[in-house]
Amino acid sequence: MRIYNTLTQKKEEFKPIEPGKVRMYVCGMTVYDYCHLGHGRVLVAFDVISRYLRHRGYDVHYVRNVTDIDDKILRRAEENGEVYTDLTERMIDAMHEDEARLGVQSPNEEPRATAFIGEIISMIETLIAGGHAYAADNGDVYFAVDSFPDYGKLSKKKLEDLVAGARVGVQEAKRSPADFALWKAAKSGEVSWPSPWGDGRPGWHIECSAMSTKCLGDTFDIHGGGPDLLFPHHENEIAQSECATGHKFVHTWMHAGAIRVNKEKMSKSLGNFFTIREILETYPAEVVRYFLVSSHYRSQVDYSADSLAEASRTLTKLYHALRGVTPASSDDVPETEHDRRFAEVMDDDFNTAGAIAVLHAVANDINQHRREGDEEKAAYSAAVLVRLGSVLGLLQQDPEAFFQADTGSELNADDIEAMIQARAEARKAKDFAESDRIRDELLEKGIVLDDSREGTTWRRA
């Protein structure tokens, strides 16, 4: 298996620190608002990665944190006139709802920053004792970036360029404009915790270092996150973690690609910002997941109505192949050439686009077996399709449930069945004009009828 390592900027053979086991940490949400599609990209990308590692037989310990104390959280809580913990609990519940609808499995651990204040303070004390951090006169504690010679090794940025490009009016409390806060002194009336440097709260970067090393050890296999976290967040994590522990922090760094909307980066300022739940009001959750999975996790993804429509069409083809077929027990179906091809492409830096192509090849086999009247082979191929689909978090629904899922249509299932029955009676009476009228009315309302020798089935367009 080869994985692209952002640190070395090349694909490397993956060799876990402990044979057969993978320790993986992914930066999670700052819970002050609903998750947007960019969050969904990261959630789904690393869900697929953890699923595939387990599929390959690894014992995966997956940690994804929650940042539940932050400037944005405190500002939003103040704007709402609510206690910040009420805001964070509400947003964490919403996040869990969103990820469940997208088929994202829960991580093994989901640490919250506020539960690790003791570990954060201890790490800061270690950094100060080692000459890597200092307490400023204003009550803040800063990391001394120039104390870590390797600073910039992840982002390939040079410290002298960062200092030269620093904004005018740098806080006087800092020794260097590149230094960053490990502990922030509390403002009057602000939520805080006691510390050796006075009441305050942790800086963002130190939270992840304390949580990841506590949950996974000083050195672990994979650290992931969104593209915007590479600098400064992940760069700062490396600096403070390696200075605190004296060990290499992470072996493999992975970053998901950005989401764009109609060729532009998704942002609130451009008015093209969509939450996951807004999107799921219009599109079925599995279609959205398929859209996200069908591109390589490192690539930029362009979100548009056309791209979602294409995802719906191609996912529908896969479910069509499964419709009316009872898959054989997966245990009865040995490894096939499709399984081997699937592993080959996924072993190449989790090439999900290639894996999707394999799924469609299996679907073609099912259709061919059915045309030939070989139901046993069709059932075996269906088992392979469901088995491989599960690794991507796809094709686990009953096909009828997929086709008939209600996404806000004015007709419910009972209404549709009644109209199909009326159409059947019209056809029986040879009233084909009425039969056609009912079919056309259903089609206008987004309901497609499929007639076969076994009867009529329906699906939402």
Known binding-site positions: 27, 208, 233, 237, 268
Nearest C-alpha neighbor of 318 from the set 374, 399, 372, 400 = 399
Nearest partner of 150 among 78, 64, 258, 239, judged by Cα:
239
| 62 bridge partner residues | 24
What does the block give as tokens for 393?
Answer: 């978090």
Using CA atoms, how far apart are residues 398 and 323, in angstroms rounded to an integer? Answer: 8
Query: Residue 62 class from Cβ within 10 Å (0-12 exposed, 13-18 middle, 19+ buried)?
Result: buried
- Which tokens go with 199? 């009441």
Binding residue numbers for ATP: 268
**Are 220 and 190 contacting, i.e. CB atoms less than 8 angstroms apart?**
no
Pairing of strands 264-265, 220-225: unpaired
Amino acid at 24: M
CA distances from 286 to 4, 265, 329, 395 (A): 27, 24, 23, 8
Residue positions in the annotated binding site for Zn(2+)?
A: 27, 208, 233, 237
CB 137 within 8 A of CB 173: yes
Pull the structure tokens for residue 227: 């593209």
Is the alpha carbon torsion for 48, 51, 54, 59 positive or negative? positive
Give the side-chain half-sphere CA count within 13 A for 406.
9
What is the C-alpha separation between 273 and 265, in angstroms, rounded?
9
